[in-house]
Amino acid sequence: MFWRSVVGKLAITILLLVSFVLFILTVLLLEFFENFHVSQAEKDMMQTAQKVSRMVEQYDDRELALGNTELVKDPLSRVSVVFGDGTFWSSGSTDSDLNKLQSDWLKNDEELKKVLTEGEKVQKQTILPDTNIKAMIVGTPISQNGAVYIYQSLDIVNQTKNETTKIILLAAGIAIILTTIFAFFLSTRITSPLIKMREAAIDLTRGEFNTKVPILTHDEIGELAMAFNRMGRQLKFHINALRQEKEQFSSIVSSMADGVITLNRNGDMLVTNPPAEMFIENLYYENSLEKKQDSPRAPEPLNQLLQSVIHGETEVIQEITTQGRTWVMIMTPLYDHSYVRGAVAVLRDMTEERRSDKLREDFIANVSHELRTPISMLQGYSEAIVDGVAESKEEKNELAQIILEESMRMGRLVNELLDLARMEAGHNQLNKEAVDANIYIDRILKKFKGLAEGNNVTLKLEKQLERQSVEMDPDRMEQVFTNLIDNAIRHTGENGFVTVTIENLESSFNVSIEDNGAGIPEDDIPFVFERFYKADKSRTRNGKKKGTGLGLAIAKNIVEAHGGSITVRSRMNEGTTFAFQVPQVSEQ
């Protein structure tokens, strides 16, 4: 609005200031001219009275003196003469409302009679008897206790005063009009550069740092415009510097192998990099939380660590395990002067280090454990035959059959170790061919129907085939299916289910095998694809069927040899899901 603008405020200020000065000046002038006109009229009337009194005193002919009095007086006034012998004379007047005074009234008035009794000159404003006319009366004495009185209506003075007032008010009005024009001109001239600077400031807020304010004057406003342009250049320089530093910082944080999380005091995550996002996703999944897209809250235990950092104002180090991965977190407070405004957390994935330690500790134990049992059985049953414990042919054949089975088990173990070593060394040869996905999957699932029914497990198949064929090594991939489905059935309790989901898309062949079995302990999840890994005893449902602990390691190598990847997600007593995908070449 105009009244809120600088132009309006400045113009109104100037106008009010000048109006106030003019008002005071007008009041003083009116008062001055009113007093001036009254005193001037009284002075003129007194001079006329003195002239009349001299003529009356000097002229022997009273008629001549009174005749001259008519000539020297103002036509609008009246002259009354009281002679010493008591004779009273009153002149005429062009003012018909101005009546003649009576000598008794003049002699009875307290002030006017002083002229007759004491010989003083008198000036007085009064209301004439028998009228409402306010008049000025002056009186001067003459010899022999006489007096000359001249009186005139104040309306004449008031008319003069009104004319003067009109002139003063007209001058004041003209001054106010000129002041208004001057105020608008001055305020517009002053505020025009300010308006341009305001527009330039708005452009700066939009990021247009090349905006310049024109320098129209060389006064303080011109210097302000120069300072504004200098500020714009400096701001552009600093913004570009900050942008470069931000991009550099973002690139450094994104390329870090360690996770970085910046949190504010309320627990909102402000900055994260890819390793930190993977860690947060695992925390949300493990705690069954829903992640918010806008300023997500830090999940537990990050929030607990944040509160410890805020209240303790010190660095906190803690090791966190989620979904089988071990993270070491260092959380450091961020200060705003002496106030803790948040914290920055640095995460390091220590899973590989822990895995290497575990592998070094378990490798010798696993190999010796896997070989010790068959060797012990071979040795024991061989000694039984040598010592003649088995006397009949049937007993010897039974012992020999056990020895054969254990030797075959050792052979399978050695062969699987050799296959695994060959795969890890990159010598695994794949015989890829186009396989009908529908027939291939049905044939594999058919093999496990009997096993599933025997364990009272529901085996379900879900298929989504956008293309009919899949490019892969069918024998090797069947080995992967066999291992994963067999593990899922064996580790699922009665009345459970195993769901095999197949998606043969244009770009990839995706497989998911889900069960609602006992699940995998969280600490073992990172090691399920390692050689000699075996599930915890609490997961072993069928104790008669024992594996070598190499199946998942072989499955992983086969999938990776096809250019794919395999993952696992699991919760204890809820189930496990193995999923792998193999890229495909689009059909022409």
The domain ranges of the chain are 6-160, 218-255, 256-349, 354-424, 433-583
pLDDT score recorded for residue 370: 63
Q: Does pLDDT of 411 surpass 80? A: no
Give the homologous superfamily in CATH for domain 6-160.
PAS domain (3.30.450.20)
What mean pLDDT comes out for the span 380-386? Answer: 77
What mean pLDDT comes out for the span 529-541? Answer: 56
Q: Which of 578, 386, 560, 374 has the alpha carbon at shortest distance from 482?
A: 578
pLDDT score recorded for residue 416: 66
E strand or H helix at 375:
helix 351-386
Q: Does pLDDT of 540 surpass 50? A: no
pLDDT class of 566 with cuts at 50, 70, 90 = very high
Residue 530 identity (one-letter amino acid): E
Of 27-41, 154-168, 363-377, 553-567, the one with minimum mean pLDDT is 363-377
CB distance 475 to 436 below 8 Å: no
| CB atoms inside a 10 Å sphere around CB 55 | 20
Q: Does pLDDT of 414 surpass 60? A: yes
pTM: 0.37
pLDDT class of 537 with cuts at 50, 70, 90 = very low
Q: Does pLDDT of 513 surpass 90? A: yes
Q: Which of 417, 420, 423, 422 has the alpha carbon at shortest distance from 561?
A: 423
pLDDT score recorded for residue 522: 84
Residue 62 identity (one-letter amino acid): R
Domain 354-424 belongs to what topology? Helix Hairpins (1.10.287)
CB distance 133 to 96 below 8 Å: no
What mean pLDDT comes out for the span 349-378? Answer: 70
pLDDT score recorded for residue 545: 46
CB distance 123 to 160 below 8 Å: no
User: Using CA atoms, how far apart are residues 466 and 513, in angstroms rounded to an integer?
Assistant: 19
pLDDT score recorded for residue 565: 92
What mean pLDDT comes out for the span 527-542? Answer: 59
* Helix, strand, coil percent values for the chain (each to nearest 5): 55, 20, 25
pLDDT in tens, 314-342: 898 988 888 778 888 899 999 887 788 89
Q: Does pLDDT of 193 surpass 60? A: yes
Structure tokens at 219: 């006064």
What mean pLDDT comes out for the span 552-562? Answer: 85
pLDDT class of 579 with cuts at 50, 70, 90 = very high
Give the percent of the chain with pLDDT over 90. 8
pLDDT score recorded for residue 295: 55
N residues, the chain: 588
E strand or H helix at 539:
none
Give the homologous superfamily in CATH for domain 256-349.
PAS domain (3.30.450.20)
pLDDT score recorded for residue 543: 44
Q: Which of 49, 29, 154, 142 has the alpha carbon at shortest distance from 91?
A: 49
Q: Is 100 helix (H, G, I), strand (E, B) or coil?
A: coil
Rounded to 5°, the CA angle 511-527-348 comes to 105
pLDDT class of 502 with cuts at 50, 70, 90 = very high
CA 482 vs CA 419, 445, 447, 513, 546: distances in Å: 17, 9, 9, 11, 15
pLDDT score recorded for residue 541: 41
pLDDT score recorded for residue 521: 86
The CATH code belonging to domain 433-583 is: 3.30.565.10
Query: Which residue's structure tokens are 């694809």?
Result: 529
More confident residue, 587 or 250: 250
What mean pLDDT comes out for the span 279-307? Answer: 75
pLDDT class of 539 with cuts at 50, 70, 90 = very low
Cis ω before 214 (30° cut-off from 0): no
Contacts of 359 (CB under 8 A, 6+ apart): 527, 530
| Domain 256-349 in the same topology as domain 6-160 | yes
Give the percent of the chain with pLDDT over 70. 88
Q: Does pLDDT of 542 surpass 50? A: no
Kindly report the average pLDDT of the chain as a whole number: 80
